[in-house]
Copies of this chain bind each other. A is one copy, B any other.
Amino acid sequence: MTRWLSDDERRAWRGYLDMNAQLSAHLHRQLQADSGLSLADFDVLVQLTDRTEPRMRVGELADALQWEKSRLSHHLARMNKRGLIAREDCPDDARGAFIVLTEKGRQAIEQAAPAHVDTVRDLVFDHLSAEEVAALAAISARVLGRLGRGGPEPA
Binding site for B on A (CB under 8 A): 2-5, 8-9, 11-13, 15-16, 18-24, 26, 66, 114-115, 117-118, 120-128, 130-147, 152-153
Residue contact B127 to A12, C-beta cutoff 8 Å? no
- Min Cβ gap A13→B in Å is 7
- Min Cβ gap A122→B in Å is 6
- Across the interface, A18 reaches (CB within 8 A) one of B11, B26, B140, namely B140
- Across the interface, A143 reaches (CB within 8 A) one of B19, B118, B139, namely B19
- Min Cβ gap A106→B in Å is 18
Residue contact B22 to A122, C-beta cutoff 8 Å? no
User: Considering the chains assembled together, what is the distance between the CA atoms of A153 and B11 in angstroms?
Assistant: 24
Residue contact B144 to A8, C-beta cutoff 8 Å? no
Can you give 14 contacting A-B residue pairs, CB < 8 Å? A2-B115, A11-B137, A12-B133, A19-B139, A19-B140, A20-B24, A23-B147, A123-B143, A123-B147, A127-B142, A127-B143, A128-B139, A135-B136, A135-B139
In the complex, residue of chain B having the shortest beta-carbon distance to the beta carbon of A13: B120
Residue contact A5 to B117, C-beta cutoff 8 Å? yes
In the complex, residue of chain B having the shortest beta-carbon distance to the beta carbon of A68: B25
- Across the interface, A132 reaches (CB within 8 A) one of B115, B120, B135, namely B135
Residue contact A139 to B144, C-beta cutoff 8 Å? no
User: Considering the chains assembled together, what is the distance between the CA atoms of A117 and B147 in angstroms?
Assistant: 16
Residue contact A143 to B130, C-beta cutoff 8 Å? no
